[in-house]
Structure 1
């Protein structure tokens, strides 16, 4: 586990950041009157993820690899980070939409013009599935790109 200490640290930073982001969404009205715009607003978080991935991989490069890292080493670290961040942020999604914004899905469905579509898309299992897919796919793509730019060997 010592080998993945930095990835664990950064996955917790990801989780805290995502928790704060979802709270901001709630207080800006994206869990109530603007519920249908929440998925679009949530895409902005991808830019924050990009920055977090950059600093996480840079941290790994400096601390573990003594500023000498290959693309493969950086990419492997980023994949592990992606998996850990997916687990932690999925837990955050569950907590937020179960305890902090428990009426979000009902609100989104009631605001929707297409109830059948809304009932299919606005529920906790779908949000959890989407979170897993989003965090893994963004993580892999961001890791591949950042690894290319920070590699030194």
Structure 2
């Protein structure tokens, strides 16, 4: 268990950050009056997601690997954190759509149908809790794997070689 504590901790923090972001989106009107802009405005979450991936791998390098980490070790830590985020994502979606913004699905369906972006059937199929459970879990995992590969490249550190003592 101690081997995965860091990744699990950061996945829980990521989930809390996601819920805070959902509350921010709701407060800023991105789930109702500004729903037309929601799809691109929500991209502002990406830097925060990347930051948590960086912090996860940095802590893993510092605490578990004593300052030295290979690309593969860093990548594995990021993927494991992403897996935990994916597992927690249905819970976050449930909280989001039942407590933070229960009217979101109605609003996004109405917007999509009214602006002829989708048919009623397509909107009903795309915008529901089960669809979002899957989208969130798969998206979190795939996005996390890609982010982990990139972050691991920059996070890798080799253990410094010990200097040999020369006798003069």
Secondary structure (helix, strand or coil) at the match of 2:132 reads helix
Q: Is the 8 A contact 2:89 2:133 kept in 1?
A: no
Deviation at 1:55, TM superposition (A): 0.9
Q: Which residue of 1 aligns with 2:135?
A: 130
Deviation at 1:79, TM superposition (A): 1.0
* Count of matched residue positions in the alignment of Structure 1 and Structure 2: 153
1:27-42 to structure 2, matched below 5 A, reads 27-42=27-42
1:26-105 to structure 2, matched below 5 A, reads 26-105=26-105
* Residues in 1 aligned to 2:40 and 2:127: alpha-carbon distance in whole angstroms: 14
Q: Is the 8 A contact 1:67 1:152 kept in 2?
A: yes
Deviation at 1:100, TM superposition (A): 2.2
Tell which structure's C-alpha radius of gyration is larger.
Answer: 2
* Residues in 1 aligned to 2:124 and 2:34: alpha-carbon distance in whole angstroms: 17
Distance 1:137 1:45, change over 3 A: same
Deviation at 1:22, TM superposition (A): 0.3
Q: Which runs of 5+ in 1 are unaligned?
A: none
Which is richer in helix?
1
Q: Is the 8 A contact 1:14 1:89 kept in 2?
A: no
TM score, norm. by length of structure 2: 0.85
* Residues in 1 aligned to 2:131 and 2:78: alpha-carbon distance in whole angstroms: 25
Deviation at 1:37, TM superposition (A): 3.0
Q: Is the 8 A contact 1:46 1:138 kept in 2?
A: no
Q: Which residue of 1 aligns with 2:148?
A: 143
* Residues in 2 aligned to 1:20 and 1:55: alpha-carbon distance in whole angstroms: 18
Q: Is the 8 A contact 1:109 1:115 kept in 2?
A: no
TM score, norm. by length of structure 1: 0.92
Secondary structure (helix, strand or coil) at the match of 2:69 reads coil
Deviation at 1:120, TM superposition (A): 2.4
